[in-house]
Amino acid sequence: MGQLMGFLNIERKNQKERSPLERVNDWNEYKEAMTEEGARKQAARCMDCGTPYCQVGVTLNRGTSGCPIHNLIPEWNDLVYRGLWKEAYERLAKTNNFPEFTSKACPAPCEGSCTAGFVSDPVSIKSIERAIIDRAFDEGWVVPKPPLRRTGKKVAVIGSGPAGLACADQLNKIGHQVTVFERSDRPGGLLMYGIPSMKIEKDVVDRRIRLLEEEGVTFKTGVDVGKDITAAELKKSFDAVVLCTGAVKHRELPIEGRDLQGIAPAMDYLTASNRHLLYNEPLESDLDACGKRVIVIGGGDTGEDCVATAIRQGCKSVVQFGKHGRLPDRRTEGNPWPEHPNVFSVDYAYEEAEELFGKDPREYYVETDKFTGDENGHVTGLTTGSFKKIEDGRAEQKKWDADLVLIAIGFRGAEDRLFGDFDIEKDPSGRVILADERSYQTSREGIFAAGDARRGATLIVWAIEEGRKAAASVDLYLDGKHSLLKS
């Protein structure tokens, strides 16, 4: 283990962040990696707990507690503390196919349940993970490792987000021939076109795709399964099919004025921005925040990414509406450790908005009643009430000016088309694919599902876990034996 009483005697430090006023001028990652010495010092805070809550990965009170992929956190903390970086990387790679994504963008449920956090501050697990994987790439330890033999079995993975990539990686490692079909022109799913480059730079995604290709995974981009190739054709040509198609069917806001120009779903906006940066594609004026008063409806992480993107595009102002109230500064009695702490934080976009405009952009309990527009059919503003009126009987009306409104109120699940194409069933919520919790098989034999398409919109780390588990079940289905550990 680390240093005796290290968790009390050493102050928790995180990766540094670039200054907000500097980073808003570019689209590069806003965090800086921790130095090796810094990571070793932070790893010294780990107590190597008998029951390491950091790695349990369960859902408690609807939040994630501990690492869903059960990263061997105390083990690699100890190896980092002792300066054994290569061994630390090897331990990390055992459970996590893509630490370069999680160490940048995971909300770190491991830290939320770390035992050190019960009495002091949790261990800086995510920063240590980042230091390990950065070092591994720098030292050339992450190299293609194609399988030594091929099984002759062919698997089609539909969708190249983290679930599809993890599933493909796992199946390829044990010799199955994997083809990943992706309807976009570039693999990566939301890692490529949803999450902004300030959180995950796109060459980091490309680097992993290249590694997978060198290991023998085939990527077929620009192929919309169900249209360009039918489900029947796939079933005929492959021994198993895994649906990792995500859950980005967005939730709408069907109120007066919704059809005005200048109101867009968040994903259209974020995808257009990422494409503009990757290909220099011109930005449609209604998806460009430059010089505009921007309102983001929806208080979640997607909304936050819209705020940060609007700032970089040079918006005149930005406000973000949330349905709920401000979170408390500390855990409440109803949200004890080791649950994920639902506490107030000033994340990157909010810090930037505050520095630029002198105010946190978040407004709470806001209910949007209607949009207003001009004679050309373009949005000019909106009227809001308050969700709080339900609690205290007060209905407060307010008018807001806006030139661009982004709707980020969540996702409604997997695309309907999928169910007909593959003749599979929906789960009882009617939003995602019904697939057995253990076997990941859908209602059709040989058709499996994983990631957001099965679980509903969630996190990269859950998508990786789902991809790994589905791969293990596919392998059992193909070979009749367990060659892959489920996590």
Ligand X SMILES: Cc1cc2nc3c(=O)[nH]c(=O)nc-3n(C[C@H](O)[C@H](O)[C@H](O)COP(=O)(O)OP(=O)(O)OC[C@H]3O[C@@H](n4cnc5c(N)ncnc54)[C@H](O)[C@@H]3O)c2cc1C
Per CB under 6 A, residues contacting ligand X are 105-106, 158-164, 181-184, 189-190, 194-195, 199, 224-226, 244-246, 248, 270, 301-302, 305, 451-453, 457-461, 463
Measured from the Cβ of residue 378, the count of other Cβ atoms closer than 10 Å reads 14
Find the shortest distance in angstroms from Cβ 199 to ligand SF4.
Answer: 23
What is the closest distance, in whole angstroms, from the C-beta atom of residue 304 to ligand SF4 in the complex? Answer: 26
Contact 17, 32 (CB under 8 A): yes
Shortest distance (Å) from residue 7 CB to ligand SF4:
6
Work out whether 95 is an interface residue with ligand SF4 (CB under 6 A).
Answer: no
State in angstroms the smallest separation of the CB of 153 from ligand X.
21
Choice from 77, 273, 309, 320 touching ligand SF4 (CB under 6 A): 77
Of 69, 125, 178, 263, which lies in the binding site for ligand SF4, with binding defined by CB under 6 A?
A: 125
Encoded amino acid at 32, one letter: E
Helix ranges (H only) for 65-161 are 73-81, 85-95, 99-105, 109-112, 116-119, 125-139
Q: How far apart are CA 261 and CA 379, in angstroms?
A: 6
| Partner from ligand SF4, ligand X, none binding residue 77, C-beta < 5-8 Å depending on class | ligand SF4
Of 56, 72, 106, 116, the one binding ligand SF4 (CB under 6 A) is 116
Query: 49 vs 356, which CB is nearer to ligand SF4?
Result: 49
Secondary element (H or E) of residue 215 = helix 202-215
The span from the first CA to the last CA of the chain, in angstroms, equals 24
Q: Smaller CB distance to ligand SF4: residue 52 or 262? A: 52
Which residue lies nearer to ligand SF4 by CB, 123 or 307?
123
Q: CA-CA distance, 414 to 353, in Å (whole number)? A: 33
Closer by beta carbon to ligand SF4, 116 or else 464:
116
Q: How far is the CB of 137 from ligand SF4 (least distance, A)?
A: 23
Q: Indicate the SS3 state at residue 201.
A: coil
DSSP for 42-93 reads HHTT----SS-GGG--EEETTEEES-TT---HHHHHHHHHTT-HHHHHHHHH
115 binds ligand SF4 (CB under 6 A): yes
CB of 367 to ligand X, least distance (A): 23
Q: How large is the C-alpha radius of gyration of the chain?
A: 23
Q: Closest separation between CB of residue 85 and ligand SF4, Å? A: 18
Q: Which does 190 bind (CB under 5 to 8 A by kind): ligand SF4, ligand X, none?
A: ligand X
- Nearest Cα residue to 67 out of 140, 122, 137: 122
User: How near is the Cβ of 42 to ligand SF4 at its closest, in Å?
Assistant: 10
User: Please, which residue, 128 or 240, has the CB nearer to ligand SF4?
Assistant: 128
Answer whether 78's CB lies under 8 Å from 54's CB.
Answer: no
What residue 48 binds from ligand X, ligand SF4, none (CB within 5 to 8 A, per partner kind)?
A: ligand SF4
Encoded one letter per residue, x for contact with ligand SF4 by CB under 6 A and - for no contact, window 46-75 reads xxxx--xxx------------------xx-
Task: List phi, psi (to 5°) of 65.
Answer: -120, 120
Nearer to ligand SF4, 54 or 474 (CB): 54
CA-closest candidate to residue 425, choices 411, 438, 412, 436: 436
Q: How far is the CB of 353 from ligand X (least distance, A)?
A: 17
Q: CB 280: neighbour CB atoms within 10 A?
A: 8
Q: Which one of ligand X, ligand SF4, none is in contact with 53 (Cβ closer than 5 to 8 A by kind)? A: ligand SF4
Instruction: Return the closest-CA partner of residue 474 out of 157, 177, 240, 244.
Output: 240
Binder of residue 46, out of ligand SF4, ligand X, none (CB less than 5 to 8 A by kind): ligand SF4
Q: Give least dist CB 224 to ligand X, A.
A: 5
User: What pairing do the DSSP bridges indicate for beta strands 58-60 and 63-65?
Assistant: antiparallel
56 interacts with, out of ligand X, ligand SF4, none, CB within 5 to 8 A per kind: none
Mention every residue, 6+ apart, whose C-beta is less than 8 A from residue 410.
250, 251, 298, 300, 302, 457
Interacting partner of 407 out of ligand SF4, ligand X, none (Cβ under 5 to 8 A depending on kind): none
Of the candidates 76, 3, 83, the residue with the CA atom closest to the CA atom of residue 37: 83
- Applying CB under 6 A, the residues found at the interface with ligand SF4 are 46-49, 52-54, 73-74, 77, 114-116, 123, 125
